[in-house]
Structure 1
Amino acid sequence: MSKRTIGSAVSLALSVLAVGLSGAALLFATGTLDAERPVSADFASQARSYLLENPEVLVESFRLLEERQQAAETNELQVVIAERRDEIFHDPAAPVGGNPQGAVTLVEFFDYNCPYCRKAIPVLAEAEEANDELRVVYKEFPILGPGSEFAARAALASQKQGRYEPFHEAMMAYSGSIDESSTLEIAAQVGLDVEQLKQDMQDPQIEEAIGRNLALAQALRITGTPTFIVGDEIVRGLVDAATLQEIIADATTPGER
């Protein structure tokens, strides 16, 4: 049984338990059951009848359960962010864009073959233009196959030639699939020395940097792209420019400069 299946089963069991407890509490509270006398053998029948007549109890129970689970997960992730703040915001291997000395840091986990990451490019550009204090940290997160892995290594290696941002933007603007061939083609187009790039890609530190990103994503329960981190908030999936700018404006980042 997979972890996802086990998790679903546990969630279902908790939901059923929450429904039962909520229903029982209401039965006692409304006098349908007498709290002063032992529960009779037909308790299940009474509870079932009450819930059938009052289905809103089920809705409310599920809502409360979901809220509690979300709150618990949020608290847990905020602890992880606090404990791994330097790794998230200040990994020396992670490329930095925007204003490197900016007061607000936005971290993006992305994959070059993710269509939504490509759609996020103009959103990020607009955010940078609107906030000259925005510092952007790029986390290579190649989860969509060998082509993405090759592109991520090439992108990190391009830093040695000082061409990460134009290379990154060109790959994100590419209309086709990013694989080894297209990566090297784009590298040549943006002025990179392709042979030097191939050599630099063999640096063990590049593989280590990608490995750290993958492990960090697992700790933060990041499974898709794009995912953004601003302050102690994790934003999963593509958002519009107005929403992203609102999140940036609300961020408090005293320790991330």
Structure 2
Amino acid sequence: MRLNVRTAFASTFALLTATAIVPQTAHALDDKQKQEMGEFIREYLVANPEILLEAQQALKKKQADEQLKQAQSAIKDNEKAIFQSKFDVTLGNPQGDVTIVEFYDYNCGYCKRALSDMDAILETDKNVRFVLKELPILGPDSLAAHKVSAAFREIAPEKYGEFHRALLGGEDRATEETAIAVAVRLDVKEADLRKKMEENGSDEGVKEAYTLANSLGVTGTPSYVIGQETLFGAVGADELAQKVANVRSCGKTIC
């Protein structure tokens, strides 16, 4: 009986949809018919609320599919800037067969938690190329810390991994002062940093990161790009590893 009601509801809905494209002067419902139809639909939905859940799930899937298509298009259009930017730092295997790109902010609490995810990936998979892309979006302190970071990268790129882990993994808020303190502990002189910061006044790296984030729909950190997919939030080492495995297996993050 339930199947018949569901079928009737579907048929009625299809009929309404079909007649909606026909001139209403010939097929419009009168007020009584509209009321009866509304009552029927309401009673059916109340009796079968799982349909609303099914519709919600279908909507989420549709939105996710659309988001994936948009991301794929944006990644294709900006492939070089995403994966091969001169402003970024690469950890892990420079010749790795799969690349993970992470957008992060030094004052992002979720990014701090995700630091261990990066290290777990790099420790267990020696064929991953991990690209660090700074996206300072959490205020002036984040931007100031980034400027120190960018200067450090140019002066001592071989020590950037240590700098990154120390600043992102620290308990103090990342500021110009705390970033300089980390750099000095790694034997980079403050005077050299400040000179390089002045030379980098236009900060093309941040401009590029902001442009890419906008194109990819990135509104928070951390966010990742793997293959042709953008992942939002601290998804965890297991999910990142699975995406990497999928890319190796079928060339896509979702096989």
For 1:93, the equivalent position in structure 2 comes to 87
For 2:142, the equivalent position in structure 1 comes to 148
Gaps of at least 5 residues in structure 2 are 20-26
For 1:14, the equivalent position in structure 2 comes to none
Aligned with residue 167 of structure 2, among 155, 171, 177: 171
Q: Does 1:27 align with 2:21?
A: no
**Distance in 2 between residues matched to 1:245 and 1:105, nearest whole Å:** 11
| AA matched with 1:244 | L
CA contact (8 A) 2:104 2:223 kept: yes
For 1:69, the equivalent position in structure 2 comes to 63
For 1:108, the equivalent position in structure 2 comes to 102
Q: Over aligned residue pairs, what C-alpha RMSD do you find?
A: 2.7
| AA matched with 2:9 | L
Shift of 1:46: 2.6
Shift of 1:67: 1.3
Partner secondary structure for residue 202 of structure 1:
helix
CA contact (8 A) 2:148 2:176 kept: no
Shift of 1:54: 2.3
**Distance in 1 between residues matched to 2:170 and 2:47, nearest whole Å:** 57
For 1:226, the equivalent position in structure 2 comes to 222
- Give TM-score, length-normalised by structure 2: 0.81
**Distance in 2 between residues matched to 1:28 and 1:177, nearest whole Å:** 57
For 1:235, the equivalent position in structure 2 comes to 231
Aligned with residue 58 of structure 1, among 52, 62, 71: 52
Q: Does 1:249 align with 2:242?
A: no
**Distance in 2 between residues matched to 1:106 and 1:206, nearest whole Å:** 27
| AA matched with 1:48 | R
Shift of 1:30: 6.9
Q: Does 1:121 align with 2:103?
A: no
- Give TM-score, length-normalised by structure 1: 0.81
**Distance in 2 between residues matched to 1:54 and 1:242, nearest whole Å:** 37
The answer to which of 133-142 and 227-236 deviates more is 227-236
**Distance in 2 between residues matched to 1:28 and 1:128, nearest whole Å:** 52
Q: 1:177 to 1:26 in 2, by over 3 A?
A: farther
**Distance in 2 between residues matched to 1:151 and 1:176, nearest whole Å:** 12
Shift of 1:73: 1.2
CA contact (8 A) 1:139 1:213 kept: yes
**Distance in 1 between residues matched to 2:148 and 2:202, nearest whole Å:** 9
> CA-to-partner distance for each residue in 1:180-200, whole Å, 9 max, x for gaps?
221111111111111111111
Aligned with residue 192 of structure 1, among 172, 188, 193: 188
CA contact (8 A) 1:156 1:206 kept: no
Q: 1:206 to 1:91 in 2, by over 3 A?
A: farther
Shift of 1:26: 5.0
Q: 1:206 to 1:132 in 2, by over 3 A?
A: farther
| AA matched with 1:209 | G
Q: 1:28 to 1:226 in 2, by over 3 A?
A: closer
- What's the % identity of the aligned pairs? 30
Shift of 1:41: 3.1
Partner secondary structure for residue 217 of structure 2:
coil
Shift of 1:25: 8.2
**Distance in 1 between residues matched to 2:34 and 2:115, nearest whole Å:** 63
Shift of 1:57: 2.2
**Distance in 2 between residues matched to 1:93 and 1:183, nearest whole Å:** 18
| AA matched with 1:217 | A
Gaps of at least 5 residues in structure 1 are 1-22
Q: What is the number of residues matched between the two proteins? A: 231
Partner secondary structure for residue 201 of structure 1:
helix
